[in-house]
Structure 1
Amino acid sequence: MAISQITLWKLISGAFGLICLLLMATLGILLKNSYTKQSIQPTFSPGSMTELQEVADCCSCPEKWIGHQCNCFISNEIKTWNESFHFCASHNSSLLQLRNRDELHFMNSTQSFYWIGLSYSEEHGAWLWEDGSSLNQDLFLSTETLNPKFCITYNPRHTILDELCEHKNYYICKKLT
């Protein structure tokens, strides 16, 4: 009788072990699917930017692009302003054109500066975005000290700097979905 009880307990414990494994696998799959569907508010370094992607009802970004508020962004390399401009154009996007101060609040943790699509127009005597629209003067503290012959970098903590366009920086392309 003792041998049959041991065998019975082994069968019962084996069945419970198998059930536990199946439940853990199911939970892992559910958690993975749940995690990829929720909005991500990243804190990241420039190198990890492309690994993050927000998926929302209104937008779906290409692979390795970061989505935020129905816009898609990317910046995983360091390039000159001209190289950045051409890279964005080749991906049906443009260098970032900021409309408001909170547009990139999800990037506030980064210390890096990024090329944006702001340049000085000699013809208009003003700083203009790539699409020809004028810069909202409330967006940055001052553009008066910027050198019109340089290109503009932006730090998501709302700071802009002028730099030689030949310097290499990260960049932000923006693609409306």
Structure 2
Amino acid sequence: MSEQSVTYVDLRFHTPAEQKRKRRPEPTRVTEISKQEITYSDLKFHTPSKQQRQKTPTSAQSKESPSSSSPWLITMILGLLCLALVATTGALGTMFLQASHRVRELECIHDEESIHKQDILKNQSQLQETLKNCTQERNDLQAQKSNISKVANTKGDKCSSCPESWIQHKGKCYHFTNEKTTWEKCKEYCSSHGSRLLRIENKEELDFINPLVCYHWIGLSRKGLAARWMWEDGTAHSTDLFRVRMQEPGGLCALMNVGGVSSSECTGQYRSICEKRAAS
């Protein structure tokens, strides 16, 4: 409709009056013509200007206005959707971080529980081993006590010239300590009681001592791994009597137990056997 033109027509009809026809004498031909009705017409065509067409409201313009606002509306909708998507993504990210943190916490708790269980099992195993060792040590001490009592009650020991809690045998007094300490400390202890660490001089003495010992230090040591075993009084050890087993390759001190003598680290904590001559 905006491209079509509108045409306005003005029609004017003129009929000469009778008086005018009387006043103007015309020839015959003209007279005949005057008798006829003459019609004059003026046709005027008007085309509206561009300004008028712009001012005239049309349905096309009304249809174009929504279309011109459509991009702005779409932009707004897309913006809102983007904001909603960003908010949703942020919420999901927060939930994911919280879930991950919770999972890590549960894993840490599980690890701590596992470590705690392992510690309990380890402690239980150590306690069982300690109990086993204590039981064995108790049995050994009971056997040692029984043997010492038998020796103390033998004939000839009733009139012992040894101090109390010492055992006399063949002119010697023996003392089995109860405190566990290093070889050097045991040596000092025996010296403080007027004695020395045990020196086994013959097989008879070895047979007497052997059933009474239970991991006791004796007065046998060496200066180095390649050095010979020496008694505390400086006498060299004879391998004809017994051999020192290399239980600990770096051991420089001799530890006696039922069945033999073995090398051990001098810093180990064990009991000891002191000896001295019986009073005449």
Same fold (TM over 0.5): yes
Q: Is the 8 A contact 1:81 1:166 kept in 2?
A: yes
Query: Is 2:187 aligned against 1:109?
Result: no
Relative contact order (C-alpha < 8 Å, sep 6+): which is higher? 1
Mapped to 1, the partners of 2:233 and 2:213 lie a distance apart of: 27
Looking at structure 2, the residues matched to 161 and 108 of structure 1 have their Cα atoms a distance apart, in angstroms, of: 13
Q: Map of 1:61-72 to 2, 5 A cutoff?
A: 61-72=162-173
Amino acid at match of 2:271: Y
Question: Is contact 1:50–1:74 with CA below 8 Å preserved after alignment?
Answer: no
* Residue 111 to residue 85, structure 1, CA distance change in 2 (3 Å): closer
Q: Does the aligned pair in 1 maintain the 2:144–2:211 contact within 8 Å?
A: no
Q: 1:160 aligns with which of 253, 261, 264?
A: 261
Question: Does residue 1:87 correspond to 2:189, yes or no?
Answer: yes
Task: Work out the CA distance in 1 between the residues paired with 2:181 and 2:276.
Answer: 19
Unaligned runs of 5+ residues in structure 2 are: 1-140
CA displacement at 1:60 relative to structure 2: 1.1
Letter in 1 for 2:277: L
Partner-residue secondary structure (3-state), 2:233: coil
Matched, 1:128 2:233: no
Alignment deviations for residues 110-129 of structure 1 (CA, whole Å, 9 cap, x no partner): 4612100111134x931110
SS at match of 1:103: helix
Aligned partners of 1:57 and 1:110: how far apart in 2? 19
CA RMSD between the two structures: 3.2
| Equivalent pairs, count | 133
Give me the whole-angstrom Cα distance separating, in 2, the residues matched to 1:148 and 1:120: 11
Judge conservation of contact 2:176–2:274 (CA < 8 Å) in 1.
yes
1:59, distance to aligned residue in structure 2 (A)? 5.4
C-alpha displacement at 1:67, in angstroms? 1.0
Q: Once the 2 structures are TM-superposed, how far is the Cα of residue 79 of structure 1 from its aligned partner?
A: 2.2
Larger radius of gyration: 2
Matching of residues 137-152 of structure 1 within 5 Å: 137-142=239-244, 147=249, 149-152=251-254
TM-score by length of 2: 0.41
**Which of the pair is proportionally richer in helix?**
2
Q: Give the Å deviation of 1:174.
A: 0.7
Deviations 1:88-114 (A, max 9, x none): 000111000111122042344346121
Query: Structure 1: where are the runs of 5+ without partners?
Result: 1-42
CA distance in 1, matches of 2:236, 2:164: 32
CA–CA separation in structure 1 for the residues paired with 2:146 and 2:192: 22
Structure 1 residues 104 and 66, CA gap change in structure 2 (3 angstroms): farther
For 2:187, the aligned partner's letter is: F
Which has the larger strand fraction? Answer: 1
Q: Distance in 1 between matches of 2:251 and 2:267?
A: 12
Q: Work out whether residues 58 and 70 of structure 1, in 8 Å CA contact, stay in contact via their aligned partners in 2.
A: no
1:137: Cα distance to partner? 1.3
Counterpart of 1:80 in structure 2: which amino acid?
Answer: T
Question: Is this contact kept in 2: 1:44–1:109, CA < 8 A?
Answer: no
- Percent of aligned pairs sharing the same letter: 32
Q: TM-score scaled to structure 1, two decimals?
A: 0.61
Aligned to 1:40: none
